[in-house]
Amino acid sequence: MKRLLTWVGLVISIVLLWLALRGLHLAEVWRYLQTARYGWIVPGVLVYMLGVVARTWRWHYMLRPFRHVPLRRLFPLVCIGYAGNNIYPARAGEVIRSYVLKRNEAIPMSGSLATVLVERIFDGLVMLLFVFVALPFAADVLGAYRLWVIGFSLLFGLALVVFIVVAGRPQWVQAGYERLARRLPGGRWQAKVGGLVERFLFGLSSLTRPRDVLMIFLTSVVIWLAETVKYWFVMHAFDFEVSFLVLMLMNGIVNLFTTLPAAPGYIGTFDAPGIAILEIVGGVRGEVAAAYTLVLHAALWLPITLLGIWYFYRARLRWSDWSRPAAVADEEPPASSPSSFPTRF
């Protein structure tokens, strides 16, 4: 399955890149790349790193039911996760940072992965919020992306409802699992799966309190606004100007598209919709839009990836550790009850 997803992602990336660049004069794209004012990337990266700090705080907030982990210890893990997402397919970095968290802080992977899934749901909802805020000023996009917007809205909205219900009524899931387990042959796997289910449900506990849900949502808005500000700074490296709302729309659409399978680094799934939004909504010439989107993509990818790799080696991890997370998840002993996890607020 992993190999199949890799090949599917590669095909999607190639097709989207071809769609994005067809009809463009690549020599002119190269000329715009050569004449760009790259100094504008520096303040963009600084603002983006503030967003990474906010993302670290959000994860810290969601992990509180397990243990209080200082931001200075979580920040390198978030960077390692970014690097994993940018280098490996299928967002492998999310699993990798949960693995390193277990190794460093003894927080079960199944529980921390539940918090990661909640993060992704709120990220998707904020992206949709950006799209809906900007769409009244960009009606042409609604026709081009109507089905995508409706589909993603249903997907993330339904996921949030399901997770909130499950978090509020974990006994329903436990009872359902116990009924299923009684009908299947006994064995060591039942204890493992039971422990994984229990720790996963405990990881959703931040969704049981309205105040926590609001804090997670507001922090998610701050995270993605910081990234949009980076879009704005990088725009000044080129000779065009669009409104901040257009950049919010671009941010929302491209990041929704990056949920699709793609080659590592979201090649194609980031670039094709980004160029299209600038052309359709902003009226930006295709060659300029392509040059800007490629530079923006590199500016989003390179700094955080290098920082994540640096933290990776500083933590004395080895490349073989990238294949360890699944095995470690299986090795986690079953928990007797959620109250067995230490809580220090």
Collect all residues with Cβ–Cβ distance below 8 Å to 99 and sequence separation of at least 6.
109, 321, 324, 325, 328
Predicted pLDDT at 179: 67
DSSP string of 313-343, one letter each residue: HHTT--GGGGG-HHHHHHHPPPPS-GGGS--
How many beta carbons lie within 10 A of that of residue 292, not counting itself? Answer: 26
| Range of weakest confidence among 60-64, 79-83, 127-131 | 127-131
Highest mean pLDDT among 84-88, 140-144, 293-297: 293-297
Asked if residue 163 has pLDDT above 80, the reply is no
Collect all residues with Cβ–Cβ distance below 8 Å to 201 and sequence separation of at least 6.
114, 166, 167, 170, 173, 174, 338
For helices 139-168 and 170-183, give the axis angle rounded to 10 degrees.
Answer: 70
List the structure tokens of 45: 């990266």
Asked if residue 93 has pLDDT above 90, the reply is no
**At residue 263, what are phi and psi to the nearest 5 degrees?**
-65, 160
Domain range summary for the chain, segments of one domain joined by +: 2-335
The whole-number average pLDDT for the span 20-27 is 92
Which residue in 259, 250, 269, 272 sits closest to 137, CA to CA?
250
Rounded CA separation 90/243 (Å): 33
Rounded CA separation 30/334 (Å): 56
Rounded CA separation 342/107 (Å): 10
Predicted pLDDT at 223: 97
One-letter amino acid at 294 equals L
Rounded CA separation 110/337 (Å): 14
Rounded CA separation 21/321 (Å): 37
Which residue in 195, 173, 170, 204 sits closest to 330, CA to CA?
195
Asked if residue 335 has pLDDT above 50, the reply is no
* pLDDT above 70 coverage of the chain, percent: 77
The answer to whether 136 and 112 have CB atoms below 8 angstroms apart is no
Predicted pLDDT at 121: 87
Rounded CA separation 69/139 (Å): 45
SS3 107: coil
Predicted pLDDT at 345: 27
The answer to whether 120 and 113 have CB atoms below 8 angstroms apart is no
Predicted pLDDT at 301: 96
Residue 341 binned pLDDT confidence (cut-offs 50, 70, 90): very low
> pLDDT tens-digit profile of 197-243?
666 776 677 777 888 889 999 999 999 999 999 999 999 999 999 99
Q: Taking phi first (over 0 means left), then psi (-120 to 50 degrees means alpha), and beta for anything else, what does residue 318 get?
A: beta
> pLDDT tens-digit profile of 312-330?
888 877 766 655 554 444 4
The answer to whether 309 and 79 have CB atoms below 8 angstroms apart is no
The answer to whether 90 and 8 have CB atoms below 8 angstroms apart is no
Q: How high is the mean pLDDT of the chain?
A: 83
Residue 110 binned pLDDT confidence (cut-offs 50, 70, 90): confident
Predicted pLDDT at 315: 82
